[in-house]
Chains A and B, each alone.
Chain A
Amino acid sequence: MSQRDIKRLTLFLLFAPFALWILLLIVLPHIGMGYLALREKIGPRQYEFGFGNFVEFAMEPIYWNTLLRTGSMSLLVTALALIVGFPIAYYIAKIANYRTRGAMFLLCLIPLWVSDLIRAFGWILLLRETGVISSSLQAIGLIDAPVELLYNDVTVVIGLVYTVMLFMIVPLVSTLDGMDNSMIEAGYNLGGSGLTVLRRIIIPYAMPGIVSGCIIVFMLTAGSYLTPILLGGKNSSWFTEMIYEQFITRYNWEAGATFGFLLLAFTSLVVWLGLKLSRQTLAGTVARS
């Protein structure tokens, strides 16, 4: 075996697990889903090829309203995560010393150590009408009757922001880390106010990190399931819930697969628009960090 063959074999062996992973767990299931989505159910064990499932989606306002609702709330969550996460990331990358930095990262990481379910139950314990926050507020006399903080969209948004915060902070920290402090100082030195420096220098510089954080957070949020279900109220339906309902409760795998594809297409479209608007590329953002 020549040196070149060995090199190729090594490359092949190193690449194989990844290729298998992509093929078995991503490509094949999606082909299966695509097949399901294009299959119309005529009767018991009778199917026909066609776009009926997509037509049905288009004809039913409940479905696309839920999709739009999921999309717009995910955008809101993304924006809030950015607004909350940016100062934290800036602090970690530029101000904190080595030890504080570790501690801060740990704080951001802790939510992920707990399972989704436990975390949601934690929120429920805090926010319910007879929960910790409501009773504490009563105890200190700020309110005189119990207040229900659970079961509404605000709670869902807060819960989601909390969950995805780390995924916003990590790419931001990594781009801000790469930014020479003297760039900021130069911004001030040349006469910029704090706001100017933030707007003209820090944010443009951090743009790749911002965009990549936003993409990750948006995808995670739009695809999240437990948090919106457990914290959401009577009216707050989430598109993933609808997919679950189709697959599991209604035995309608065809519609479920269709919805799955539509969610994928929708989020991809939003991401594409985001990249266009911010004039970034996928390779320069997510792939970089």
Chain B
Amino acid sequence: MTYGKMTALMASAAFLGAVALPGAAVQAETLRLLTWGSYAPEEVIQKFEEKYPDIDVEVTFSNNEEMIAKLRATGGAGFDLAQPSHDRIYAAQLEYNIYKPMDLSKIDTSIYEEKLLDGVKANTTIDGEVYSVPHQWGTSGLMADKTKAPDFKGWGDLCDPQYKGRTSMRLKRTILLGTAFAMGEDPFAAYADLDKYQAILDKVVDKLIECKDNVKAYWKGGDDLSALMLSGEIVASETWDSTAFRLYSQNPNIVFVPPATGALAWIDTFTLPRKGEADDAAYKWINFVMQPEIVELMSASSGGTSARKGGRDLLPADKKAAVNAAFTDEDIANLQFFANIPPGVEDMEGKALEKIKAATGG
């Protein structure tokens, strides 16, 4: 995800959009997948291409923001299947019209965990049309080295002076939401009233600026977070659960800590870009990767839990252990699913993050 690579991809996407005019027929069908780093392991692609020899899979790795930026640049062209998170679809569709509705009859919906399927459908229905189905889910929360921070419990502990210079967080919206919850607010409920939400954000910003002194560095991706944690330079951090699980397999003292106020859960989806040209292949891919044996491969690669019924049982053994070490059933019940981001909130959150970054603290 280097900047150069990203601009190159954007440029080539724009170039394709300009040169490959709509009339140009796609020959041997190509499935152009826009997805997360570990969501298309080589082994899965091989198996898929064995089963459907006339489909070539091309993968572009990205993240939520870049997926939307790429699709926005071309009005939804250049890719046949995207995997944004469930809370990033509604507003993006309203604002930029980059997705197209799904034909649920082409998907075997019976295998999905109903709670997840219904949740995603509810989140992504516009004018009666459903735009997404779930793929994998996971949580954002905290992790701590049990030996060095045994009492680490909630978002607020990141700012606990006893861990001064030994914690880390990612300067993105998750930490704003987590801190809001830790301060006893319900930011998702406030989405309906943006003034109220702004008030919450202001409080959160003050808190996080004050907390800056306590933080060693803001991490930017799974790799630098892993390095910080494994080297012992930090003892606790905000994290994605998959990263924490991976570290658990290397150092069992490092565990995922679902915050007392509830881990924040995200669901990555399957969504069709508006100008995708290989819908059939996309549906084939969706059904293919939801098969139990593929789910196992996928979860092993990504660390996410499948939206298939019994998805947790299909996690590889070490991850299952990590999950069991982290979550009680109570924690699962306590999950806070990210609510749909209404238009305008990204801007408010962005400004809040800028303020924190620009503030001179420690």
- Find out whether A and B make contact in their complex, taking CB atoms under 8 A apart as touching: yes
Residues of A within 8 A of B (CB): 43-45, 62, 65-66, 115-117, 124, 128-130, 148, 150-151, 225-226, 229-230, 233-235, 237, 242, 244-253
Query: Is there a chain A Cβ closer than 8 Å to B163's Cβ?
Result: no
Query: Is there a chain A Cβ closer than 8 Å to B216's Cβ?
Result: yes
Question: B218 touching A234 by the CB < 8 A rule?
Answer: yes
**Given known A-B contacts A44-B95, A115-B4, A130-B233, A229 and B65 have beta carbons under 8 A apart:** no
Contact with A along B106-144 (1 / 0, CB 8 A): 000000000000000000000000000000000000000
Q: How far is the CA of A242 from the CA of B92 in the complex (A)?
A: 21
Q: Which of B195-203, B281-289, B343-351 has 4 or more CB atoms under 8 Å from chain A? A: B343-351
Question: A233 touching B217 by the CB < 8 A rule?
Answer: yes
Q: How far is the CA of A117 from the CA of B220 in the complex (A)?
A: 13
Question: B361 touching A248 by the CB < 8 A rule?
Answer: no
**Given known A-B contacts A45-B95, A150-B217, A248-B65, A237 and B357 have beta carbons under 8 A apart:** yes
Question: B355 touching A44 by the CB < 8 A rule?
Answer: no
Question: B2 touching A245 by the CB < 8 A rule?
Answer: no
Question: B224 touching A250 by the CB < 8 A rule?
Answer: no
* Residues of chain B within 8 A of A65, CB atoms compared: 358
User: Which residue of B2, B346, B362 is within 8 Å of A251 (Cβ)?
Assistant: B346
* Residues of chain B within 8 A of A245, CB atoms compared: 350, 353-354
Q: Nearest 3 A-B pairs (CB), nearest first?
A: A250-B350, A130-B231, A62-B358
Question: A248 touching B362 by the CB < 8 A rule?
Answer: no
Question: B3 touching A244 by the CB < 8 A rule?
Answer: yes
Question: A44 touching B94 by the CB < 8 A rule?
Answer: yes
User: Which residue of B92, B220, B231, B353 is within 8 Å of A129 (Cβ)?
Assistant: B231
Closest to A244 in B: B3
Question: A151 touching B354 by the CB < 8 A rule?
Answer: no
**Given known A-B contacts A44-B94, A66-B358, A117-B2, A251 and B72 have beta carbons under 8 A apart:** yes
Question: B212 touching A234 by the CB < 8 A rule?
Answer: yes
Closest to A240 in B: B3
Question: A128 touching B216 by the CB < 8 A rule?
Answer: no
Not counting A45-B96, A115-B2, A234-B361, a sample of 16 additional A-B residue pairs whose C-beta atoms are within 8 angstroms of each other reads A44-B94, A45-B94, A66-B358, A116-B3, A116-B4, A151-B216, A230-B220, A234-B212, A234-B215, A234-B357, A235-B361, A237-B354, A246-B350, A248-B69, A249-B65, A251-B96
Question: A62 touching B355 by the CB < 8 A rule?
Answer: yes
* Residues of chain A within 8 A of B353, CB atoms compared: 245
Distance of B349 from chain A, by nearest CB (Å): 8
Q: How far is the CA of A237 from the CA of B65 in the complex (A)?
A: 19
Residues of B within 8 A of A (CB): 2-4, 65-66, 68-69, 72, 92, 94-97, 172, 212, 215-218, 220, 224, 227, 231-233, 343, 346-347, 350, 353-355, 357-362
Distance of A51 from chain B, by nearest CB (Å): 18
**Given known A-B contacts A62-B354, A225-B3, A234-B362, A249 and B216 have beta carbons under 8 A apart:** no
Question: B354 touching A242 by the CB < 8 A rule?
Answer: yes
Q: How far is the CA of A237 from the CA of B359 in the complex (A)?
A: 10
Question: B69 touching A237 by the CB < 8 A rule?
Answer: no
* Residues of chain A within 8 A of B215, CB atoms compared: 234
Question: A128 touching B354 by the CB < 8 A rule?
Answer: no
* Residues of chain A within 8 A of B354, CB atoms compared: 62, 237, 242, 245
Distance of B211 from chain A, by nearest CB (Å): 10
Q: How far is the CA of A115 from the CA of B2 in the complex (A)?
A: 9
Q: How far is the CA of A115 from the CA of B66 in the complex (A)?
A: 21
Closest to A233 in B: B217
* 9 pairs, A vs B, C-beta closer than 8 Å: A44-B94, A225-B3, A234-B215, A235-B361, A242-B354, A245-B350, A251-B72, A252-B346, A253-B72
Closest to B218 in A: A234
* Residues of chain B within 8 A of A62, CB atoms compared: 354-355, 358
Question: B66 touching A251 by the CB < 8 A rule?
Answer: no
Distance of B1 from chain A, by nearest CB (Å): 9
Closest to A152 in B: B217
Q: How far is the CA of A150 from the CA of B212 in the complex (A)?
A: 16
* Residues of chain B within 8 A of A242, CB atoms compared: 354
* Residues of chain B within 8 A of A43, CB atoms compared: 343
Question: B2 touching A226 by the CB < 8 A rule?
Answer: yes
Question: A235 touching B357 by the CB < 8 A rule?
Answer: yes
Most buried by B among A129, A233, A251: A251
Question: A252 touching B350 by the CB < 8 A rule?
Answer: yes
Q: How far is the CA of A244 from the CA of B343 in the complex (A)?
A: 19
Question: B232 touching A130 by the CB < 8 A rule?
Answer: yes
**Given known A-B contacts A62-B358, A115-B4, A151-B216, A250 and B347 have beta carbons under 8 A apart:** yes
* Residues of chain A within 8 A of B232, CB atoms compared: 130
* Residues of chain A within 8 A of B97, CB atoms compared: 45
Distance of A64 from chain B, by nearest CB (Å): 11
Q: How far is the CA of A45 from the CA of B92 in the complex (A)?
A: 11
Q: How far is the CA of A44 from the CA of B95 in the complex (A)?
A: 5
* Residues of chain B within 8 A of A128, CB atoms compared: 227, 231, 233
User: Which residue of A45, A226, A250 is within 8 Å of B3 (Cβ)?
Assistant: A226
Q: How far is the CA of A249 from the CA of B347 in the complex (A)?
A: 9
* Residues of chain A within 8 A of B350, CB atoms compared: 245-246, 249-250, 252
Q: How far is the CA of A62 from the CA of B356 in the complex (A)?
A: 10
Distance of A230 from chain B, by nearest CB (Å): 7
* Residues of chain B within 8 A of A249, CB atoms compared: 65, 172, 346, 350
Distance of B73 from chain A, by nearest CB (Å): 9
* Residues of chain A within 8 A of B359, CB atoms compared: 235
* Residues of chain B within 8 A of A252, CB atoms compared: 346-347, 350
**Given known A-B contacts A65-B358, A115-B2, A234 and B217 have beta carbons under 8 A apart:** yes
Most buried by B among A150, A151, A230, A235: A235
Distance of B191 from chain A, by nearest CB (Å): 15
Q: How far is the CA of A149 from the CA of B224 in the complex (A)?
A: 15
